[in-house]
Amino acid sequence: MSVSAVSARATAFVVTFSEKENPEYTFMSDVLHFPAPISKLFQTVMGPAFAQGFTRAVRDLNVPLQSAELTFQNNYLFQAFLPIIPKDEIEAIQLGERAEASMQSELPVMLSRWENEHLPKIKTNLRLLETMNVETCARQELPSLLDEVAAVAVDLWKTHFTIVIPVLLASQLFDEFYADLFG
């Protein structure tokens, strides 16, 4: 079997930041959730919804993060999670204690919250999206319909992160417990 040389033309991956984006943040690619280029409509609606939903969830859970920031480079999503920087050691301890207390109170009620709060909210949001009729919507009503879609997207992302953050903690705690027991 012979191997022939393949010539490929490399294209530059140009990175540019808008005035509102901070190039000093550590932006990371999330190839698990967003492996392909993202459409401009998705960027317009889901980008802000992701960041707002994440920010609301971490605030509600007392996670010491101030926000998520997103940038789209060549239609790929990159995200930065900005920590709350404590002014001193005492504030750092307080932030940690608040986060731990919040997570400890969240873990025992995760199933109940899923059944009684999260799942009904998700179903309501999805029903709302399903009943939106883009074909019969008057042209002048499309911007407000898109605003409704954006509001639902924020709520869905908030719900997602309100669920996922405690789940990740529970998984980590179980892993540590298992390691302590069985090495």
pLDDT at res. 3: 47
Helix (H, G, I), strand (E, B) or coil at 74: coil
Rounded CA separation 47/126 (Å): 19
Quote the pTM value.
0.83
Averaged pLDDT, 155-178: 91
Q: 84-107: per-residue pLDDT in tens?
A: 999 999 999 999 999 999 999 998
Rounded CA separation 148/49 (Å): 11
Evaluate if residue 11 carries a pLDDT over 90. Answer: no
Rounded CA separation 72/35 (Å): 13
Q: Where are the domains of the chain?
A: 28-182
Evaluate if residue 2 carries a pLDDT over 70. Answer: no
Averaged pLDDT, 129-150: 92
Cβ neighbours, 10 Å, residue 169: 18
28-29: strand order across its sheet: 28-29, 76-83, 65-73
